[in-house]
Amino acid sequence: MFKLVMKRVFYKGHVAFALPDSPALRERLRHELARCRDRHNDYVLVTLEPPKRPRTTGARSQNHHLNGHIMQICNDTGNDYDTIKHCVKMIAVEQLGYPYATVAGHVLPQKESMCSTDECAKLIEAAHLLAAELGIVLQE
């Protein structure tokens, strides 16, 4: 199973989806469809939803904003970056509905690289909550 964003097109009165440009994604899709053909008599589960906008990166972006807050908290508390980032993610999971998976009872917050703009906003808010709890005034 894998997720793939595809563009809808109409072909001879039928709904269809344009193949991705990436040869690697095309091969992965071909492999998954062959597996469905061989194991499930060509039945495929399709879930339709709008694609998520990925978080912004670069100067003055959500990613820069979040990581700047994490660094400020690190500097004020003396903790390392990974520790504070994990704390921020756990606050986002527990209080703001940030996505996660569980493995053997352990909560694993979604990787930051997989965030949508809405999910990254939750991480930024969680950083604000952690800073407030610690009495740290963040620079925007």
Q: What is the pLDDT of residues 84-133, one digit of tens each?
A: 999 999 999 999 999 999 999 999 999 988 889 999 999 999 999 999 99
Percentage of residues in the chain with pLDDT exceeding 90? 71
d(CA 93, CA 99): 6
> What is residue 127's predicted lDDT score, i.e. its pLDDT?
97
Is the CB of residue 119 less than 8 Å from the CB of residue 98? yes
Instruction: Select the more confidently predicted residue: 129 or 20.
Output: 129
Stretch (H or E) spanning 8: strand 8-11
Query: Which tokens in the block code for residue 42?
Result: 């060509």
Record the pTM.
Answer: 0.70
76's tokens: 């004020």
What mean pLDDT comes out for the span 38-47? Answer: 93
When the pLDDT of each residue in the chain is averaged and rounded to a whole number, the result is 92
Which pLDDT band holds residue 32 (cuts at 50, 70, 90)? Answer: very high
Residue 67 has pLDDT above 90, yes or no: yes
Count the neighbouring beta carbons within 10 Å of the beta carbon of residue 128: 16
Helices (H), the chain: 23-40, 62-77, 81-96, 117-134
- The region of weakest confidence among 38-52, 69-83, 95-109 is 38-52
Q: What share of the chain is helix, strand, coil (3-state, %, to 5)?
A: 50, 15, 35
Q: Is the dihedral of CA 74, 77, 82, 87 positive or negative?
A: negative
